[in-house]
Structure 1
């Protein structure tokens, strides 16, 4: 089965790694057809194992190899396509759309955080099929009140986020 591993906190705040090295760790952990997509920690691969088993194997392999506490979220090709296909927002060149990959129920935690946050003009969020989507004006991602929630240490093992365009690139790689 084809999967994508979405790694949390890669190549930000001092956790730097080359994607070629990450791919090698995946191969050594028994994954097949391993490719990276962008430098933000999106690893496409195939395996006969189930996602929950892969999460344990790959988090341990990454933690051991890179000497950090690895968090990653595994999604099948069908699940990855759902992130792209469920986007509720119209494309707008002035806005970024982010999608959140995480543990079951994290979308409700994120929506609560969003509802409690001060918002900029045109900033909005929606849950579609248990997936949290956030749209924010370009240039405001890290400055927005909700954007600061993304770095909360208490949530670091709960989710990771990607620009919606990343899903299009991941899906194209999965289909090759």
Structure 2
């Protein structure tokens, strides 16, 4: 069994509302154990004997069947979440900026986003691996930041999701606790 973090894209915003209790109930018959939801923004930790691609396929299938929307998730192993959180060069809390991590299930999409952000300028960003890009946004101006505007384009929504570093640390800690129970 492997522990995973699953990051849902676009729930509890834009008309797609899913209660975390309903999500846990929908996942109950699936090949997942130890399912725990964190916050209402679509962060889940679980264990499964499926590989990473299998967890993604099964999870998206569950969301589509149970909640009737075109669902996308990014799945990372618990170990990878810990590595990414440790590798982030930006502070988790800062009065003037917020640290975000954009995660992807398609590295070529992150390549494109990184190139567009670099060309546009105005965003401090660091590539942490094929599936993650850390970046800074001014406090209160995340959506209006250059990278925020670029990454919000509809063509990226099936492949990316963004979390602030504080959330990623909470997911890391929950996944580590789950690992300890195995």
Q: TM-score, with normalisation over the residues of structure 1?
A: 0.92
Distance in 2 of aligned mates of 1:93 and 1:24: 38
Distance in 2 of aligned mates of 1:44 and 1:59: 15
Question: Which residue is equivalent to 2:69?
Answer: 68
Distance apart, 1:118 and its partner CA: 5.2
- Tell whether the 8 Å contact from 1:87 to 1:133 is kept in structure 2 after alignment: yes
SS state of the match for residue 158, structure 2? coil
Name structure 1 gaps, 5 residues minimum: none
Distance in 2 of aligned mates of 1:128 and 1:80: 11
Question: Which residue is equivalent to 1:107?
Answer: 110
Count residues with an aligned counterpart. 173
Question: Which residue is equivalent to 1:150?
Answer: 151
Name structure 2 gaps, 5 residues minimum: 178-182
- Taking only aligned residues, the RMSD between alpha carbons, in angstroms, comes to 1.4
Question: Which residue is equivalent to 1:11?
Answer: 12
Question: Which residue is equivalent to 1:124?
Answer: 124
Distance in 1 of aligned mates of 2:163 and 2:11: 12
Question: Which residue is equivalent to 2:95?
Answer: 93
Q: TM-score, with normalisation over the residues of structure 2?
A: 0.89
Question: Which residue is equivalent to 1:50?
Answer: 51
Distance in 2 of aligned mates of 1:96 and 1:157: 24
SS state of the match for residue 12, structure 1? coil
Q: How does 1:75-90 map to 2 (within 5 A)?
A: 75-90=76-91
Distance in 2 of aligned mates of 1:37 and 1:90: 21
